[in-house]
């Protein structure tokens, strides 16, 4: 064991992300277009073997300007926390220099994710201050592959709704779920099953 | 807005942590002693104004060897994800070079936290693979200060129990809750209220 307690961590997205996603500030006006971007990120992540089959992105609420994206990096960066949503939120907060995505002068933001958030990511989205969450594949699609989504229930969504957070589910669900199956078919690992 | 998407994040604990916590590998045999360490970390974090009133640590399950510690760094590192538990899990996985705290050759581990985990941290603990979670202050103690713990219920704990994760609550609750009140009395910010 090391002689001193560890104090620092650092994580990164693969460089190809900048080839697949448009530059920050690009307006992506519809839920479908935003979802298509996160699905594309998830699929590239699988094909390039740089992580699990999940992508996410943070957009400015008013006009859909792209702020940051994320893909699952659990196995590649060796950290169980690095789901696509966590990466997108962390990078959005870094880009904005703020620990909240909704407090003046920071305008409201929303999170788009290629799969319904697990318990950790739902909580992470809640704490980030995003005012809206848009989901593609559904919990059942991830569970069908053996991923355990943790303690998330309809009560969890009701809790967020009661605090003014809108959640939209099932946008391009089939395309998003297809990436999960692609991952399985290419032999991707289901960690912490 | 920057011209390129952000790809990297890096976070750190304050240096004083190494003065307060013993070196990694130190055996801390009882729940009370482990909890006392996380409470001490939380209190120092408040007094030195380096973060919120929460501390956590990861220990090897078999003998209580300390692996890593964490304190809340949300405001100081400008990231809503950096609760004490998240920092402790991230640093423990870094120390072990693994994305799970329970898969051979990695032995089972446990998480000790000065306050019951919020929704994000309960999910983070679940994904980390820890086999046991020990909590000090209770959800109500944090809520009394205005912190919102998110969608966590008795069902959440039952979900973890059904997957073999033991949760022990209320260890040194009074001492742990006193740090929360200290934070309030010193004028600490309640973010995302």
Cis peptide before A82 (omega within 30 of 0): no
Residues of chain B positioned with their CB less than 8 A from the CB of A156: 119, 151
Q: What is the ipTM of this complex?
A: 0.96
When pLDDT is averaged across residues B52-66 and rounded to a whole number, the result is 97
Name A146's Cβ contacts closer than 8 Å, sequence gap at least 6: A190, A193
In the numeric block, which tokens belong to residue B123? 């999910």
A89 touches chain B (CB under 8 A): yes
What are the tens digits of pLDDT across the range A5-43? Answer: 999 999 999 999 999 999 999 999 999 999 999 999 999
What are the tens digits of pLDDT across the range A158-186? Answer: 999 999 999 999 999 999 999 999 999 99
Work out the burial of residue B138: count CB atoms within 10 Å of its CB; fewer than 13 is exposed, 13-18 middle, 19 or more buried: middle
B115 touches chain A (CB under 8 A): no
Name A105's Cβ contacts closer than 8 Å, sequence gap at least 6: none
Q: pLDDT band for position A191 (50/70/90)?
A: low
Instruction: Please determine, for residue B192, whether its predicted confidence score (pLDDT) is greater than 60.
Output: no
Q: pLDDT band for position A149 (50/70/90)?
A: confident
DSSP labels, A33-65: HHHHHHHHHHHHHHHTTSS-S-EEEEEETTT-B
Residues of chain A positioned with their CB less than 8 A from the CB of B15: 7
Work out the burial of residue B143: count CB atoms within 10 Å of its CB; fewer than 13 is exposed, 13-18 middle, 19 or more buried: exposed
Interface test with A, best of B70, B84, B102, B119 (most A CBs within 10 A): B119
Name A169's Cβ contacts closer than 8 Å, sequence gap at least 6: A116, A135, A138
Nearest CB to B90 within list A9, A24, A121: A9
Task: Please tell me the distance from the alpha carbon of residue B103 to that of residue A103, in angstroms, as a whole number.
Answer: 41
Beta carbons within 10 angstroms of residue B127's beta carbon: 25
The catalytic position among A85, A110, A116, A175 is A85
In the numeric block, which tokens belong to residue A23? 């530059």
DSSP labels, A139-155: HHHHHHTT----S--HH
Task: Please tell me the distance from the alpha carbon of residue B45 to that of residue A73, in angstroms, as a whole number.
Answer: 30
Task: Please tell me the distance from the alpha carbon of residue B83 to that of residue B62, in angstroms, as a whole number.
Answer: 26
Task: Please tell me the distance from the alpha carbon of residue B121 to that of residue B118, in angstroms, as a whole number.
Answer: 5
For A70, which residue in chain B has the nearest alpha carbon?
Answer: B7
Q: How crowded is the C-beta side of B152, counted as CA atoms within 13 Å?
A: 22
A106 touches chain B (CB under 8 A): no
**CA angle, corner B58, sides to B57 and B60, nearest 5?**
145
Instruction: Please determine, for residue A192, whether its predicted confidence score (pLDDT) is greater than 70.
Output: no
B12 touches chain A (CB under 8 A): yes
Active site residues of B: 85
- For the four alpha carbons of B13, A121, A10 and B23, in that order, the dihedral sign comes to positive
Q: Of A185, A148, A147, A192, nearest to A43 (Cα)?
A: A185
What are the tens digits of pLDDT across the range B153-165? Answer: 888 999 999 999 9
Nearest CB to A191 within list B9, B77, B99: B99
B81 touches chain A (CB under 8 A): yes
* Predicted structure pTM score: 0.96
């Amino acid at each position: 064991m090391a002689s001193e307690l560890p104090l620092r961590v650092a994580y990164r997205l693969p460089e190809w992300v900048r080839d697949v996603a448009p530059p920050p500030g690009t307006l992506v006006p519809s839920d479908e277009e935003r979802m298509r971007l996160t699905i594309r990120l998830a699929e590239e992540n699988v094909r390039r073997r740089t992580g699990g089959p999940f992508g996410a992105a943070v957009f400015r609420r008013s006009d859909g300007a792209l702020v940051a994206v994320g893909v699952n990096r659990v196995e590649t960066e060796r950290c169980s926390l690095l789901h696509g949503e966590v990466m997108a939120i962390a990078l959005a907060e870094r880009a904005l220099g703020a620990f909240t995505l909704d407090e003046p002068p920071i305008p409201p933001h929303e999170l788009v994710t290629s799969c319904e958030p697990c318990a950790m990511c739902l909580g992470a989205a809640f704490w980030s201050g995003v005012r809206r969450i848009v989901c593609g594949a559904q919990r059942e699609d991830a569970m069908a592959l053996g991923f355990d989504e943790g303690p998330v229930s309809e009560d969890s969504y009701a809790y967020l709704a009661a605090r003014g957070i809108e959640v939209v589910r099932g946008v391009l669900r089939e395309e998003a779920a297809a990436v999960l199956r692609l991952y399985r078919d290419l032999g991707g690992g289901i960690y912490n099953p």
